[in-house]
Amino acid sequence: MLAGGALPSHLDCCGGLDNLDYSKVDFSAMTLLLGYVKLTDSTFAAAVLCIAFNPLFWNVVARWEHKTRVLSRVCGSPYTACYCLGTVILLLNFIRSHCFTEAMRSQPKLEGLDCLSVYYAGLAVLGVGFLFVISSFLALGFIGTFLGDYFGILKEEKVTSFPFNVMDNPMYWGSTACYLGWSIMHASPAGLLLTAVVAVSYMIAMLYEGPFTEEIYQQKQKAAKKK
């Protein structure tokens, strides 16, 4: 769940971003990265599309289900419907990971990252990400992980055990870390750029999922008070 309050901006006191001199910004690192990435490559484009599509798909379908309950009626119960959606999401994530890996393989490596010490650093990042993903799944269960609350299957209380006592949305950030570690292990500039796309897609998803999930539980509390 996301915090409801927004952090105040302090840019206005200095005239905002209008006073920044963008001609003095050093874009050398980004230029170097893009120099290794063929943005028009078909495998890279497929990976970007998969990354963008997945969270869009599950948010649209889950909200549609919350509004209509069509999947629950077709499947016979909300639990069966949630398991079906979860299975589809897992399949889509597998396809996304495959496209991600193929995009890395089709593009050149960054020589500065292609060494054993960096490989093990990437492996460590991958391990941390995997830890957050698996522990999030164990804490939430299958139903909780795959949007069970959108199907009307609500938890009695908020999950506060590890890793949710460390950060918000550990599943998303853990998944991002997995892609980051995988990219570092492959010394792949394309992978690093795609990881940034993963992070942005998840951040956009969190902006929509957090408030909507809070609204679902607020409705539950209001209904409980009326009884």
Binding-site annotation, residues for S-adenosyl-L-methionine = 127-129, 209-210
DSSP symbols for 33-66: HHHT--TT-HHHHHHHHHHHHHHHHHHHHHHHHH
Strands (E), the chain: none
Q: Determine contact, residues 168/1, Cβ cutoff 8 Å.
A: yes
Cα–Cα distances in Å, from 21 out to 10, 12, 27, 28, 224? 18, 16, 13, 16, 55
Rounded Cα gap, residues 33 and 14, in angstroms: 32
Sign of the dihedral through C-alpha 209, 210, 216, 217? positive
Task: Mark the binding-site residues, compressed into ranges.
Answer: 127-129, 209-210
For 61, counting Cβ atoms within 10 Å of its Cβ (0-12 exposed, 13-18 middle, 19+ buried), the class is middle
Rounded Cα gap, residues 121 and 118, in angstroms: 5
